[in-house]
Amino acid sequence: MEADRDAIPHGDPLALFDAWFAEATLSEPNDPNAMAVATATPDGAPSVRMLLLKEHGPDGFVFYTNGESRKGGEIGANPRAALLFHWKSLHRQVRIEGPLEEVSPEMADAYFASRHPDSRLGSAASDQSRPLDARKTYLDRVEALRAQHPDGDVPRPPHWTGFRVVPERIEFWLSRPHRLHERRLFTRQGEGWSEGLLYP
């Protein structure tokens, strides 16, 4: 018989995410904030990539990107996303789905300024997702910007921004022996949440 202490608890999914994320921060060897981010074109063609979660709380889950990238174009045309966290060390997954809203320019400025100077230079020099004739072309652009901003204090490009996924569905998945996994889905209902188990 499975121990009750391993069950996915009832209650507030955002508080549960906080607890699982805190445990992942201690147990995952690399990037516990890594997540797959799925977007889609208006006609439903999906694409997915790994990004890093930079902030989360009652308002949602924030990541940053080049707004002129493929994902940025898809977000502009179809502002919804799905996130997936997979913490292998804990045998857990969390899936989050909802609409996207752009963060404020002030928030994007503050996060961009907090990045390593080389990361700021790399982002400003990149035409993300567009064809590149040779890697040297990109590295030359980085060095040209470094010459203009030797302290690395390059300003945030206007197309570099952040997006917040406002969760409508949050599903917690817990691995069980013999694939008898446990899944609990929370669905936004007004200011609260409804919840229930799903077959694995």
Residues with catalytic annotation? 179
- The answer to whether residues 175 and 90 touch, using CB atoms and an 8 Å cutoff, is no
Q: Residue 51 corresponds to which tokens in the numbers above? A: 């990004």
CA 85 to centroid of chain Cα atoms? 9
Contact residues for 184 (Cβ-Cβ < 8 A; gap 6+): 8, 10, 171, 172, 195, 196, 197, 198
CB atoms within 10 A of CB 75: 21
**Which two three-digit tokens encode residue 130?**
């567009």
Please name the amino acid found at residue 161.
Answer: T
Given CA atoms 139, 142, 147, 151 in this order, what sign does their dihedral have?
negative
Cβ atoms 53, 62 nearer than 8 A: yes
| Among 91, 85, 90, 83, CA closest to 23 | 90
Question: How far apart, in whole angstroms, are the C-alpha atoms of residue 102 and residue 97?
Answer: 16
The single residue listed with the structure tokens 């503050």 is 110
